[in-house]
Amino acid sequence: MGLGGCIILIAAGAILTFATDWDMQGVNLDLVGVIFMIVGLIGVSTFSSIARRRRVVVPPPTTTVVEDDHHRRGGGYSA
């Protein structure tokens, strides 16, 4: 389940808990909504910790510039 699925679970749980007043025999919809929200929050925290671990920070390559003075001074090998 990705981040979108977790957010949908949280939203569905909030709707069941706070926006409905349905009564079903043998099912407490408020409790089902709270369970959905808890599972969604666990999923979001798990997803974010896994995504944080996957991120690899690669330092920029360091390049060493070596200047050769032989050509500037007219020097070099002479026979």
pLDDT higher than 60, residue 14: yes
**Residue 59, in any domain of the structure:** no
**Residue 70, in any domain of the structure:** no
Counting the structural domains of the chain, the total is 1
**Residue 25, in any domain of the structure:** yes
Residue 76, phi-psi category: left (phi > 0), alpha (psi -120 to 50), beta (remainder): left
**Residue 9, in any domain of the structure:** yes
* Residue 28 CA to its chain's centroid (Å): 34
Domain that holds residue 16: 3-54
**Residue 77, in any domain of the structure:** no
**Residue 32, in any domain of the structure:** yes
**Residue 45, in any domain of the structure:** yes
Q: Of the candidates 42, 16, 11, which has an alpha carbon nearest to the alpha carbon of residue 27?
A: 16
The pLDDT value given to residue 12: 96
Rounded to two decimals, the pTM is 0.63
**Residue 38, in any domain of the structure:** yes
Average pLDDT over residues 26-40: 95
More confident residue, 47 or 79: 47
pLDDT of 35-70, one tens digit each? 999 999 999 999 988 877 766 677 777 777 777 666
